[in-house]
Amino acid sequence: MPVVGIRELSRETSRVVEGVHTSGRPTVVTRNGRLVAAIVPIAEDDLEDWVLANAPEYVQSMAEADEELAEGRTTSLADLLDDED
């Protein structure tokens, strides 16, 4: 996986982004030798899914839902629809 320092990224942003786009591989960004970010390729059609999957609120909500399901804390559709009346 390519690695680029923050200074090089600031000077060569277009080249780095084009490299990610053409190779289809992420590039890791470092600051003072430490990993701080990654530039990842993404298709326009996948953007919404990527944002939702990486939004902290969404990830937390899904984890809570998985936990409730594992514990059997579920509501049937019929009960849910009855509650709306």
* 28-54 per-position pLDDT tens digit: 999 999 999 999 999 889 988 888 888
pLDDT band, very low/low/confident/very high, at 85 (cuts 50, 70, 90) = low
Distances in Å between the Cα of 6 and the Cα atoms of 2, 3, 17, 20, 67 are 13, 10, 13, 16, 39
Instruction: Parse the chain into domains and list their residue ranges.
Output: 1-41, 43-85
Rounded to the nearest 10 degrees, the angle between the axes of helix 56-70 and helix 47-54 is 70
Largest Cα separation within the chain, whole Å, is: 61
* 52-74 per-position pLDDT tens digit: 888 888 888 888 999 999 999 98
Q: Distance between CA 10 and CA 36 in Å, rounded?
A: 14
- Is the pTM higher than 0.75? The answer reads no
Q: Distance between CA 83 and CA 77 in Å, rounded?
A: 10
Residue of 39 and 78 predicted with greater confidence: 39
What's the CATH code, domain 1-41? Answer: 3.40.1620.10
